Amino acid sequence: MDRYTQAIAASKVPVDEATVKAEVQKILDKAGDYATPETFRFLLQSIDLTTLSSEDSQHSVAEFTRKVNEFDNDYPQYGHVAAICVYSNFAEVVDTELDVEGVDVAVVAGGFPSSQTFTAVKVADVALAVAGGADEVDVVMNLGMLRDKNYEELTDELVELKHTAKDALLKVILETGALRTPHAIREASVLALYSEADFIKTSTGKIYPGATPEAAYVMCRCIKEYFETTGRRVGFKAAGGIRTSADALAYYAIVKEVLGDEWLTPRYFRIGASSLANSLLSTLEGTEVKYF
């Protein structure tokens, strides 16, 4: 066996669907215990506030960014989101317009959302985004290579993208809705973790079904196992269909129960969303707020 196959085979993360569902349900049953203003404030501060529309423009992205600036003035008691996430060609727009210290410029790049293009194109996209001011880069794992078990080419590509990103965080999207089974999600997680990913992320939210608690559970178990083996801490990002405070609370509970409080910081826990911020703000304010 090659080293990638060995790493996958060595994993003890459960992949029996019934077992995963049962373990997730145990966590979800206690998620309500964490429903405090402090938790909802933290969740708001963990959002990658996202706009990924075909109609995005320099003007609309600039307005989107200015809204984050205004929020910092209008609701200073809640802090700020973790990042603004846009298409790679808008990195410079966000970087120019953003006034709030501590909010990162995040982009999707590398043939998003399918990952179906030349590696050289992905490398150029990541390099241009970082040159434009991106602090974080979200790329999609090539699922065709994964399906063919072409592990070496797959991991080599991800490593090259990480080296291209340099100090920018690299978040590898597994597209768990396409992978479907815990077994496949574990396989993809292990490969991403051993490819120098700074985060592993559930979904693009564009083609396949988005995040699920079951996928998050398997991914977090893989992150924990990897940390215990290597001592390297990798973040987790849930994205795709997370719209309500209750949705977000479920992922908070999974991260807390599986990974522990050390991961409950925006450095290691993110939620990619567009409408979630309004739901969390409404929960905190006790009345419906449509700010973003």
Per-residue pLDDT reduced to its tens digit, 88-101:
999 999 999 999 99
Q: What predicted TM-score, i.e. pTM, was given to this entire model?
A: 0.97
- Report the mean per-residue pLDDT for the chain: 97
From the list 215, 269, 268, 267, the residue with the least C-alpha distance to 241 is 215
Distance in angstroms (rounded) separating the CA atoms of residues 6 and 53? 40
As annotated, the active-site residues are 138, 201, 237
In the block, residue with structure tokens 């999600």: 185
Q: How far is CA 175 from CA 182, 215, 272, in A?
A: 12, 10, 13
pLDDT for res 59: 98
DSSP string over 172-199: EE--HHHH-SHHHHHHHHHHHHTTT-SE
Whether 136 contacts 169, CB under 8 Å? yes
Distance in angstroms (rounded) separating the CA atoms of residues 83 and 245? 18
Q: pLDDT tens digits, the chain, 292 residues: what are they?
A: 688 999 999 999 999 999 999 999 999 999 999 999 999 999 999 999 999 999 999 999 999 999 999 999 999 999 999 999 999 999 999 999 999 999 999 999 999 999 999 999 999 999 999 999 999 999 999 999 999 999 999 999 999 999 999 999 999 999 999 999 999 999 999 999 999 999 999 999 999 999 999 999 999 999 999 999 999 999 999 999 999 999 999 999 999 999 999 999 999 999 999 999 999 999 999 999 999 9
Residues 261/264/265/271 CA torsion (nearest 10 deg): 170
Whether 238 contacts 247, CB under 8 Å? no
Residue 31 CB contacts under 8 Å (≥ 6 apart), including other chains: 249, 250, 252, 253
Expressed in percent and rounded to 5, the helix, strand and coil fractions of the chain are 55, 15, 35
In the block, residue with structure tokens 């790329």: 139
pLDDT for res 1: 65
47-50 and 83-87 strand pairing: parallel
What are the tens digits of pLDDT across the range 215-240?
A: 999 999 999 999 999 999 999 999 99
